[in-house]
């Protein structure tokens, strides 16, 4: 089974074309036809209509298996632990047990930053963007090519580069991005808050 996490901001579904495209690509790779998403904004429960951001989770395979809506609450991330792992997550599976197992090793840190072959990839729930002065870069060694990452690349707000454990010190800050988070949401921290302990 697969998952799409879709942001509904002030009642408007964000990036729906990108989510539908990812569903089609996933279905093509796994040999089934992607189900059609309904009008998600019309299905937001009345109690959540006033929420600024609503997180919509769609679990699907050949058909939509569930759609849930929750008021979005941003995680507080003040520290990241580098975690070396040979993990594959190029499709957004609903089963996140591999990532959750890694996350249990975060120790005193708030989140993990997964390293594969000495290259920086993603956190357990987001892509990452690094800043240097006024320029923004995302690792070319991502695990999942997220919809927000693709959007920022298309808009030329970020560019791809090789980010490794050895060149992390070159950057100033790291930002976490996903369908619910953008660079301007300020879920960013100084690279000196990334630890190997």
What is the secondary structure of 43-94 as a DSSP string? HS-GGGTT-SEEEEEEEESSSEEEEEEEE--------EEEEE------S-BS
The mean pLDDT of 5-12, rounded to a whole number, is 95
Is pLDDT at 187 greater than 80 in this prediction? no
Q: CA–CA separation, 119 vs 84, rounded Å?
A: 9
| pLDDT tens, position by position, 71-81 | 999 888 999 99
**Residues in a beta bridge with 111:** 80
Q: How many CB atoms lie within 10 A of CB 48?
A: 17
The 10s digit of each residue's pLDDT in 130-170 is 999 999 999 999 999 999 999 999 999 999 999 999 999 99
Q: What is the pTM of this model?
A: 0.93
The answer to whether residue 128 scores a pLDDT higher than 90 is yes
| Closest C-alpha to 139, from 55, 82, 77 | 82
What is the model's pLDDT at position 184?
82
| Residues 70, 93: Cα–Cα separation, whole Å | 19
Distance between start and end Cα atoms, the chain = 34
The band of 197, judged by pLDDT with boundaries at 50, 70 and 90, is: low
Residue 160 to residue 18: CA distance in whole angstroms: 19
Domains and CATH numbers, the chain: 2-71 (3.30.470.10), 80-195 (3.20.10.10)
- Statement: residue 96 has pLDDT above 70: yes
Tens-digit pLDDT profile for residues 19-76: 999 999 999 999 999 999 999 999 999 999 888 999 999 999 999 999 999 999 988 8
């Amino acid at each position: 089974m697969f998952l799409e996490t879709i942001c509904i901001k002030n009642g408007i579904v964000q990036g729906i074309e990108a989510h539908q495209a990812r569903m089609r690509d996933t279905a093509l790779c796994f040999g089934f036809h992607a189900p059609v998403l309904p009008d998600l904004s019309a299905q937001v429960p009345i109690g959540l209509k006033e929420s600024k951001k609503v997180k919509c989770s769609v679990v699907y395979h050949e058909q939509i298996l569930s759609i849930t809506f929750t008021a979005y609450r941003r995680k507080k991330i003040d520290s990241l632990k580098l975690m070396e792992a040979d993990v594959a997550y190029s499709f957004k599976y609903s089963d996140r047990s591999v990532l959750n197992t890694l996350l249990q090793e975060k120790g005193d840190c708030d989140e993990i930053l997964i390293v594969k072959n000495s290259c920086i990839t993603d956190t357990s729930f987001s892509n990452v963007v690094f800043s240097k002065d006024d320029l923004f870069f995302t690792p070319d060694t991502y695990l999942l090519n997220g919809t927000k990452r693709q959007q920022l690349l298309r808009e030329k707000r970020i560019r791809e580069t090789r980010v490794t454990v050895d060149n992390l010190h070159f950057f100033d800050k790291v930002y976490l991005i996903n369908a619910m988070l953008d660079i301007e949401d300020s879920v960013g921290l100084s690279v000196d808050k990334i630890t190997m302990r």
